[in-house]
Structure 1
Amino acid sequence: MSDYVANTYFEVMFGAPALGLSGRFTSVSGLAMEFEYETVNEGGCPYPRQFFKNIVPQTLVLEQGTVTMIDGFEAWMHLMNLGMRMPINGIITLKDHTGATKRTWMINDALLSKYVGPSLNSTQPELAVNRIELQYNGCI
């Protein structure tokens, strides 16, 4: 049984640090791997055989966070608008209140699919990013 770690956050970085595709988020969901198999019934074999077919893309959701001073996510979005498809690998690190690493996941071939900024309301303090959604091909 694992221990509950209080007061944690997720540090997220995609690509090289100079790209500015990093930030801290309170919630990360969609860390999953799914594989497709093809079932083949062979003559003389009493059971079907399973052959690897494909990795099913997943959706990673980063919520309620702040990004670096250079908002690389905005630049990435601009490149996507220009039709440039740039899959980028990334690292998600769970950290405790002292900044010590508790767990790390690696994301492969992520593509930006949705970016939701803050609601603009001068009477409410808002975080810099409400939600970022990425399509990716696997995690370790």
Structure 2
Amino acid sequence: MADYYPPLGFYYKVEFGISQVSNDVRFQSVSGLTVEYDYESFKEGGENRFEHKLPVRTKYADMVLKRGMLTDSDVIDWLLDAFRDRVFKPASVNVILMNEKSEPLRTWKVAQAIPKKWQIGDFNANESAVVIETIELTYRYFTVQT
């Protein structure tokens, strides 16, 4: 039996359902693939030792993507439609973790993502650094495929 090594988190791509530009899959970091339950407390009469906690609904965190700024991007056009023109078009987003052979190990399929925040990093004449753009998305839910 071969030893199992957990996958490394640096080889991945992000696919937007709205993009045909090949550079739109490259991001420096992805965070926010988080799901948790909201709970409601129920106090039972006569039981003073504890409260019952019942799961109510799932809650998903906002997704945060960071990358070097692009000048030609379908994702940027999508963001501009939302922030400049107030036209919100929900998009599907796939975060694909890959192995050393460029084969998908696991895919997180994010449903109905819309822009929440778009931030351009600081400009500083004293540093020679890449301009980083941060894209924050809110979404309904995600599913996981292996």
- TM-score when normalising by structure 2: 0.66
Q: Which residue of 2 aligns with 1:126?
A: 130
How many residues in Structure 1 have an aligned counterpart in Structure 2? Answer: 136
Does the alignment pair 1:33 with 2:6? no
RMSD of the alignment, in Å? 3.7
CA distance in 1: counterparts of 2:68 and 2:100, whole angstroms: 15
Q: CA deviation at 1:17?
A: 4.0
Structure 2 regions of 5+ residues with no counterpart?
46-50
Does the alignment pair 1:83 with 2:77? no
Q: CA deviation at 1:98?
A: 4.3
Seq. identity, %:
24
Residue type of the alignment partner of 2:119: V
Residue type of the alignment partner of 2:59: V
Does the alignment pair 1:56 with 2:85? no
Q: Which residue of 1 aligns with 2:16?
A: 14
> Rg bigger for which structure?
2
Does the alignment pair 1:112 with 2:115? yes
**CA 1:49–1:100: 2 relative to 1, 3 Å:** closer
CA contact (8 A) 1:29 1:61 kept: yes
Which residue among 79, 103, 106 is the counterpart of 2:106? 103
The C-alpha deviation readout for 1:42-85, integer Å capped at 9, x for no partner, is 89xxx858463x44242111123576x74122211221122222
Structure 1 regions of 5+ residues with no counterpart?
none
Q: Which residue of 2 aligns with 1:93?
A: 96
**CA 1:76–1:108: 2 relative to 1, 3 Å:** same
- Of residues 130-139 and 112-121 in structure 1, the stretch that sits farther from structure 2 once superposed is 112-121
CA distance in 1: counterparts of 2:55 and 2:123, whole angstroms: 51
- TM-score when normalising by structure 1: 0.68
**CA 1:59–1:40: 2 relative to 1, 3 Å:** same
Q: Which has the higher strand share?
A: 1
